[in-house]
Amino acid sequence: MGKNKHQVLYLHNFFCMSKCLSIDLPVSNPIFFSPFRQKVFRVIPQNDEQVAIINSLASNIEVDFWQPDSVTLVRPKMQVDFRVEADTSFEVEDLLKESGMEYRVLIDNLQAAVDAQFDSKARTTSHSYEKYNNWETIAAWTADIAAQNPDLVSRSVIGETYEGRPMYILKMGKSGPNKKAIFMDCGFHAREWISPAFCQWFVKEAVETYGKDTVMTTLLDSLDFYVLPVVNIDGYVYTWTNDRMWRKTRSKNAGSHCIGTDPNRNFNAGWCTLGASKRPCDSTYCGSAPESEKETKALADFIREHLSTIKAYLTIHSYSQLLLFPYSYTYKLPSNYEELKSIAHAAAKQLASLYNTKYTYGPGATAIYPAAGGSDDWAYDEGIKYSFTFELRDTGRYGFILPESQIKPTCEETLLAVKYIANYVLEHLY
């Protein structure tokens, strides 16, 4: 028996013993974690045996994969970021040391990192573009920004969430006949807080620079922008009240105590084939059917209703510094692959021009990993040929816990890429 097989066996026995010893203890809520002294590790498995160790780890203890977002996607030579509970972190580290696997601790104390993310100088209780705003504040802001800019912004409701919250969308642009539109959403995955921050920033820049910045003025005169600031509102609320690391929606699953569906595995684009799970307890659970979630159904219905006018689809996630385009559910390349690649190349170059932040770009399946049921692939297959996913800062130093002091630079640089894409679309309407 090889050394690594011994380790897998040891791991199994160790965690089995832990579970057996605690069998009479009351079971805590399976979806609530106290981040006290939790750690985030980065490992780079070199071969299939080391991948097997990570798989064994994930099947024996609570492991939250940050990147890739499921253990099933782990491959040799891939950078893997994952979070473990405080009570198992030392054993995990011992195991990694013993296995000889290349690893480092990205975040030594997650609670300290969570506290430290609120480092903005703007410590106001009201809305601020340079800090993370809770849902109540964002909802009030959507009303305010529309009321303050009636000739440029209007707010409507496209549906409601599982928990009954209204899903607000902002329509931005000067009124005019037969205008084409660009659709942009943020906040698919609840813990990716930098994402809704960007949607708010984009709206701010539009209203503040209209009439001053020639590109923004031309864009708003010639196009409409539909901006959905938070898709997964229930999940986002939950990250503020219960579990900062929550990802999915908050819907109940029949026959399971586990809550939620991954909204970005819930679209009818190769649904639940690659890189998605059929198990409700998994973070990449694809749902009981395509558009089973009220939030994804509302978004898809809205796009279908406006399909004749929507010419580009942009969806904002974090983290990894990537600019992705279809496909993610197949390795097949889209028909306008060369065009999408050249747009992504130029947009990434624009983004890097400000703070030299390096983005990688390409089709989702090859640039990161295959994942079926994503909104970008679905939009593309609906006929929206300019469809892009942004994965914002950073590359893992903070991961989902990006400090507020990085909101401004992140949004400023991302704005350059979004404006480039929007302007390209305007010049290549179809």
The set of catalytic residues is: 391
Report the distance separating Cα 132 and Cα 241, nearest Å.
14
Residues 6 or more apart from 257 whose CB is under 8 A from it? Answer: 30
Report the distance separating Cα 68 and Cα 82, nearest Å.
9
Q: Are 33 and 110 in contact, with CB atoms under 8 Å apart?
A: no
Q: Quick check: bond before 430 cis, omega within 30?
A: no
Report the distance separating Cα 66 and Cα 64, nearest Å.
6
Q: Are 117 and 132 in contact, with CB atoms under 8 Å apart?
A: yes
> Within 13 A of 378's CA, how many CA atoms are on the CB side?
25
Residues 6 or more apart from 2 whose CB is under 8 A from it? Answer: 49
CA angle 59, 65, 70 (to 5 degrees): 70
Q: Two tokens at 377?
A: 């692939």
Instruction: Please report where in the chains the tokens 């950078």 appear, as a residue.
Output: 79
CB-count exposure of residue 358 (10 Å: 0-12, 13-18, 19+): exposed
Report the distance separating Cα 277 and Cα 333, nearest Å.
24
